[in-house]
């Protein structure tokens, strides 16, 4: 897929990996729909987008409590189409299983699995008519291998891998591809919360001896959007941590 003038909707794209993807797609000539919970984009992010001559719209919505059919319609109507949907918004509420409250489970399953599921349903319905489209789900190596203290997050991210394969099989006949990315430890606000002891322990398990950068995940999303013959896959971006 040639990205120039394509429309890309990225959920949770005001910081971290989502922000890096918004910039990467804008640099490739795509029109980007940025989503976040705040009423407006920060002046700082606006300035970066403007310095890149990015074409973009901002669609504010807390996806954990938004009617996703309505959100999909609003997003679609901004440019009259969506060529690429990236289900990126995600949270974690880490606790050991025996101490995990129902709310910790429900909030993570809701934003990390239910929202991508129903947003994809609403957008793919529209993509079907175009006989073209790309969906990218942001999973995690935790969904492939598990991690102590993240049973809720692992369940949601593993769910996304299965969802990706089933949706890819259903949508392929209409020339719609569905893939997932499973990052390892990427340098963002999500990982900044980890203690130095945990970070040191993780670094020892990464053959490339460093955390990944958000733009390295963004480059993978660009590749998956552009390559017309990859579907149903989960691409691991983890510095060799889980090889
Ligand atoms: P982050 O916390 O920096 O960013 C998450 C984004 O989601 C933010 O923009 C946030 O505003 C948005 N968001 C949160 N709740 C939302 C809601 N209710 N409605 C709309 N947006 C909401 O995280 P990140 O590290 O950039 O992670 C992005 C994705 O990649 C997530 O799905 C995460 O699970 C996944 N991931 C991250 C890592 C990592 O190491 N950072 C590793 C594996 C997977």
CATH number for the domain harbouring residue 63:
3.40.50.720
The answer, yes or no, to whether residue 7 has pLDDT greater than 90, is yes
Task: Judge whether residue 222 has pLDDT over 90.
Answer: yes
Q: Are 30 and 84 in contact (CB under 8 A)?
A: yes
Residue nearest atom 41 in ligand 1 by C-alpha distance: 186
User: Which pTM was predicted?
Assistant: 0.98
Q: pLDDT tens for residues 66-98?
A: 999 999 999 999 999 999 999 999 999 999 999
The Cα diameter of the chain in Å comes to: 51
Ligand 1 touching residue 87 (CB < 6 A): no
Quote the domain boundaries for residue 12: 7-237
Is position 243 within any domain? no
**Comparison of pLDDT for 59 and 197, the residue scoring more:** 59
Q: Is 229 a catalytic residue?
A: no
Is 242 part of a structural domain of the chain? no
Query: In this predicted structure, what is the pLDDT of residue 198?
Result: 85
Q: What is the average per-residue pLDDT within 200-207? A: 94
The Å distance, Cα 189 to ligand 1 centre, comes to 8
CB atoms within 10 A of CB 117: 15
Dihedral sign of CA atoms 66, 135, 30, 112 in order: positive
| 103-131 per-position pLDDT tens digit | 999 999 999 999 999 999 999 999 999 99
Please pick, among 56, 79, 153, 229, the residue that the annotation labels catalytic: 153
Q: Is the pLDDT of residue 215 over 90?
A: yes
- As a whole number, the mean pLDDT across the chain is 97
**Tell me, what's the pLDDT at 162?**
99
User: Is 97 within a domain?
Assistant: yes
- Whether residue 67 lies inside any domain: the answer is yes
pLDDT tens digits, residue range 151-184? 999 999 999 999 999 999 999 999 999 999 999 9
Q: In the chain, how many domains are there?
A: 1
Q: Name the residue among 27, 110, 31, 29 with its Cα closest to residue 76.
A: 31
In a domain, 1, yes or no: no
User: End-to-end distance of the chain based on CA atoms, in angstroms?
Assistant: 29
Cα–Cα distance for residue pair 210/153, rounded to 1 Å: 23
Residue 215 · residue 21 · CB < 8 Å: no
Asked if residue 2 belongs to a domain, the reply is: no
- Whether 90 lines ligand 1, by a CB cut-off of 6 Å, is yes
Ligand 1 centroid distance, CA of 218 (Å) = 13
In a domain, residue 204? The reply is yes
């Amino acid at each position: 897929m040639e990205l120039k003038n394509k429309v890309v909707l990225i959920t949770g794209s005001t910081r971290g990996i989502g922000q890096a993807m918004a910039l990467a797609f804008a640099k490739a000539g795509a029109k980007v729909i940025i989503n976040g919970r705040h009423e407006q984009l920060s002046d700082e992010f606006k300035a970066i987008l403007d310095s890149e001559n990015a074409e973009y719209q901002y669609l504010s919505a807390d996806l954990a409590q938004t009617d996703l059919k309505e959100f999909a319609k609003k997003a679609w109507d901004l440019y009259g189409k969506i060529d690429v949907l990236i289900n990126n918004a995600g949270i974690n509420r880490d606790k050991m299983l025996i101490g995990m409250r129902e709310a910790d489970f429900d909030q993570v399953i809701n934003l990390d699995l239910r929202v991508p599921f129903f947003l994809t349903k609403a957008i793919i319905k529209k993509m079907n008519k175009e006989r073209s489209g790309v969906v990218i789900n942001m999973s995690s190596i935790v969904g492939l291998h598990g991690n102590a203290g993240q049973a809720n997050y692992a369940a949601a991210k593993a769910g996304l891998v299965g969802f990706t394969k089933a949706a890819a099989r259903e949508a392929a006949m209409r020339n719609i591809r569905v893939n997932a990315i499973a990052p390892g430890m990427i340098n963002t606000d999500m990982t900044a919360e980890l203690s130095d002891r945990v970070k040191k322990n993780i670094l020892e398990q990464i053959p490339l001896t460093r955390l990944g950068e958000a733009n390295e995940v963004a480059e993978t999303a660009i590749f998956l959007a552009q390559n017309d013959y990859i579907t149903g896959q989960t691409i691991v971006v983890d510095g060799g941590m889980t090889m």
